[in-house]
Structure formats: structure tokens, C-alpha cells
Amino acid sequence: MSNDLTNCSVNGVSRRSFLRTLGAASAAAAALPATGAFAQQKANPAPSMGGRRGGFGSDMGEMRVLNPDTVIISSNENPLGPATSSLDALIKTASMGGRYHQEEAAKTTAVYNDLFGLKRGYTALGPGSGGLLDLALMSNLGPDKPLVYGDPSYEQGPRAADTMGAPKFPVKLTPTYAHDVKAMLAAHPSPGAYYIVNPNNPTGTMTPRADILWLLKNKPKGSVVIVDEAYFHFSNDESVLDQVAADQDIIVLRTFSKIYGMAGLRAGFAAGRPDLLRKFTTVAPPARSLASISITSAAAARAGMLDKDLIPTRKKINADNRAESLEFLTKKGYTIIPGSQANFFMVDVKRPGHEFQQAMLKENVAIGRTWSAMPTYVRVTVGTKEEMAKFQTAFVKCMDMPTSTTAELYIPEHHIPTELYRG
């Protein structure tokens, strides 16, 4: 994390939620595979992810042991894992791990700034974007500073509002599953923050850049627009990151967990005006030791950004596999949410989604969860071609099973997604 965040003070936030906020997983990010295992992993960039699931720390969250053959397409991870360019950088840097080498993070931030035309002081690098997202949300929310957000969307928004005792104003997505910025503006006269996820999780759909610019222009003074671009690299649209350089009231989040395949290595950025980033320190204690990124992850993230082929190659693989599965489902007559530009999509299973998820697990396919706004839809992450073939077979089999008529719809208000099991 940048030096802007080194002198933070705790403000009504429990130690537990603070640790969750900062992503305690960062400490484990430097784990180095043995040379033999590393060579094997490079030869097979889609390592089996079976046999594990749940939180990052042994005492955190639910641990579910899965059959090692399980196809895991539940948490929007990238089955390709880190690119060779990132792995090479990681292994080169690991031997330097005996020293702090804070310049590694600074070098990675400089590359990011360069890519997006950002000045020094406009970016914070952290172990994943989730902790930074919490800081962005929490530092702008409170009992008199509500959160306005899309429904359905990523639950980290309303969860941060709960932590801060902030009123919540969910706003239904438009018929094309974009954030309804006009309805968001009308939802409250003076919110602390508007949270926009683009592409949206779980629908994968886009909110046009013009709509976000309209909200920025028309929103009340004093509120901030937080745009979560965790999945943006998969999309064809234009980012709003330039609005950060233009000194607007905006914070944009990006992560290395998705297209870069570094979910477990933990790296992400928040970009915003220096005064907005400095506000993070009102909800977090001194951060350098707890929230700093390992030198291995910093180097891997930097190498990924400098790898010119990485994004176009992976974007195409994802788009091809997504299109193939969506075509399969549509041809079979199932109802999907159209327009996903992410590495996941939603499909209507015409029964409680949770029940269907369990049935799929029995077929060794772990799919994603449901959202209270659409409880019969499940979210499916795009895996490899082979994984999607297994998904399709299991999907048809489970859809042909009788629906349990007595099962209640599984509709928690916003239950904790697997990505958030960390604390």
C-alpha cells in the first residue's frame, strides 16, 4: 500500500473487521513453489484446484473439502492461474525475500500510474482490491452517510455499510442489467457513496461509461462514486479511470485476481484523488505492516502489466469459452442473462438456486451462488474448455432432475460470498 496510508487511526472499527478489511492473506502470498513443482506448474498452467475451498486462514470462514476432481467455477477465479511472465518474476524476486524491499511495490505502482496517466499519490497498492474497496466504502459511509448501490450486485457494498452503521439504498438494475444511475441519484439526496460494479457481479453486464459520467456530474457535492472494475479487463468498454486523473469525486478499484490469475497471490489497486485516499486512514490503523503486498506479488503484478499479450490472449479465451457455453444453454432452451462481458454469467435454473448448486456439487461441479433479487438464477464462472464441457453435461443432468417442491427459496438479504470468507 502506498505511503499515503501509513499513518492511519482506528475509528470505531473492530480489530476483527479491520483484519478482514486488510486481507490477512497477504502474509501468505510469498509462498514459493519448490523448483520441481514450479517447473511442473509452468508446464501445466491450469493446476487442479480440487480438494480445497473456503477461507484463506485456517481459523477463518467455512472450510469445505471438495473431491479433487471437482470443477471449480464458483468464485470467478481464472483457471489459467498466473501467466508465465508473472511466475518468472515471482521466482526471481523470491530469493530477495529476506529484506523488505519497499521499492518493489513502488516500482509496481509506477508502472500502473504510467499505464493510466496517474500522478504520484493517486494510487494505493494493496493485497487484492477487496481490502482497499472496504476502505474506500467505509471511509465514505456512516449513520448520516448512506450507501446507494445496484441490486443485484456485489455484497461487499452493503456489508461495508452495515459495518459503518450506514443506511442502505439498493436500486434495481435497468432492464438491460446496467446500474440505473438516474434511479440511484433519486434514491437519496445526500449519500456518502454510490457503489457501481462494472462489469457487474453477478450479472456480468456493463453500465455505460456515459451513465457513470452523468452520475458524477449530477451527484450531490460531498458524495463519492466508487467504481469497482475488478472484471473490467474482460470487457470491451471504456474505463472511467481517466476521471481519477481529472480529479473527480471518484475512486476506481482494479484487481490482479481475475484476468491476471493471481487471486491467491493478492494484488490490487485503488485509484483516487490523494485527499480521497488519505481518508482511508480514518477507518484503518497504521497499515504498512498489515496491508503491505509481498515483493513476490508486487513483481508478479508488474510483470503481468508489462506483458503485452496477457490481456488480449486471456480476454479472447474467456470470451470464446463464455460464448460457447451461453450458446449451448440458449440452444437447449435455458434462460440466461444476456450481455455478460465478464468471466461469469447467470442462468435461470427454475428452482431454488441453492438446491441446484448442491445437485451440481454431487456431479463434481462447483458453481456460484444465488442473489436474493433473483433466487432461481445461479452464477457460473467461465472455466477452461474442458471444464465448461463437464459443466454442460452436469447442468443438463441436474436440470432434468425433479425440483424439490418443498424447498424454500434460499434468499438471505446478502449472504457472505465465498470471496469474502476471509473473515
Query: What's the Cα-to-Cα distance from 115 to each of 83, 305, 377, rounded to whole Å?
Result: 19, 9, 37
CB of 116 to ligand PLP, least distance (A): 17
Nearest C-alpha neighbor of 205 from the set 89, 326, 124: 326
User: Which position among 81, 128, 192, 368 is part of the footprint of ligand PLP (CB under 6 A)?
Assistant: 128
Span of 112-120, 129-137, 234-242, 371-379 interacting with ligand PLP by CB under 6 A: 129-137
Q: Work out how close the CB of 235 gets to ligand PLP at its nearest, in angstroms, rounded to a whole number.
A: 13
The minimum distance between CB 185 and ligand PLP, in angstroms, equals 22
CB of 400 to ligand PLP, least distance (A): 31
Rounded Cα gap, residues 290 and 287, in angstroms: 5
Amino acid in the structure at residue 356: F
Write the DSSP symbol of residue 247.
T
> What Å distances lie between residue 214 and 217, 243, 317, 339, CA to CA?
5, 12, 33, 22
Note whether 419 binds ligand PLP by CB under 6 A.
yes
How many positions of this chain bind ligand PLP (CB under 6 A)? 15
Residues 188-217 that bind ligand PLP (CB under 6 A): 197, 201
348 bridge partner residues: 335, 377
Residue 228 is a binding residue for ligand PLP (CB under 6 A): yes
169 vs 344, which CB is nearer to ligand PLP?
Answer: 344
Judging by beta carbons within 10 Å of its beta carbon (0-12, 13-18, 19+), is residue 212 exposed, middle or buried?
Answer: buried
Site for ligand PLP in 140-179 (CB under 6 A): 154
Specify the residue, 223 or 255, whose C-beta has the smaller distance to ligand PLP.
Answer: 255
**How far lies 258's CA from each of 16, 90, 332, 398, in Å?**
26, 17, 29, 28
Q: How many helices (H) and strands (E) does the chain have?
A: 15, 12
Regarding 380 and contact with ligand PLP (CB under 6 A), the answer is no
Shortest separation between residue 304's beta carbon and ligand PLP, angstroms: 13
Site for ligand PLP in 64-123 (CB under 6 A): 76
- Each residue 255-294 as x (binds ligand PLP by CB under 6 A) or -, in order, gives x-x-----x----x--------------------------
The helix/strand/coil state of 213 is helix
CA–CA separation, 158 and 166 (whole Å): 9
**In this chain, which stretch among 3-11, 128-136, 159-167, 295-303 interacts with ligand PLP, using CB under 6 A?**
128-136
> What b/e string do you get for 223-239 counting C-beta neighbours within 10 Å, with b at 16 or more?
bbbbbbbbbbbbbeeeb
Minimum distance from residue 155 beta carbon to ligand PLP (Å): 9
H-assigned helices in 332-368 = 353-362
The number of CA neighbours under 13 Å toward the Cβ of 228 is 32
Note whether 325 binds ligand PLP by CB under 6 A: no
Q: Is the CB of 211 or the CB of 419 nearer to ligand PLP?
A: 419
Q: Does residue 1 contact residue 22 with C-beta atoms inside 8 Å?
A: no
Does residue 130 interact with ligand PLP by CB under 6 A?
yes
Note if the bond before 152 is cis, omega within 30 degrees. Answer: yes
Q: Which is nearer to ligand PLP, 104 or 419 (CB)?
A: 419
Measured from the CB of residue 309, what is the shortest distance to ligand PLP in angstroms? 22
**Candidate segments 42-50, 126-134, 141-149, 363-371, binder of ligand PLP by CB under 6 A:** 126-134
Interface contacts to ligand PLP, rule CB under 6 A? 76, 128-130, 133, 154, 197, 201, 228, 230, 255, 257, 263, 268, 419
